[in-house]
Amino acid sequence: MCFKSFPGGMVDNTDADVAHTARREAFEEIGLQASDVDIWGRLGVFPSKVCIDCWFLQYANGLLLLAES
The reported pLDDT for the residue numbered 14 is 92
Strands (DSSP E) along the chain, which ranges?
37-47, 56-64
**pLDDT category of residue 44 using cuts at 50, 70 and 90:** confident
The pTM (predicted TM-score) of the whole model is 0.68
The residues, any chain, with a CB within 8 Å of residue 32's CB and separated by 6 or more, are 6, 23, 26, 64
Mean pLDDT of 16-44: 85
CA 14/CA 36 separation, integer angstroms: 21
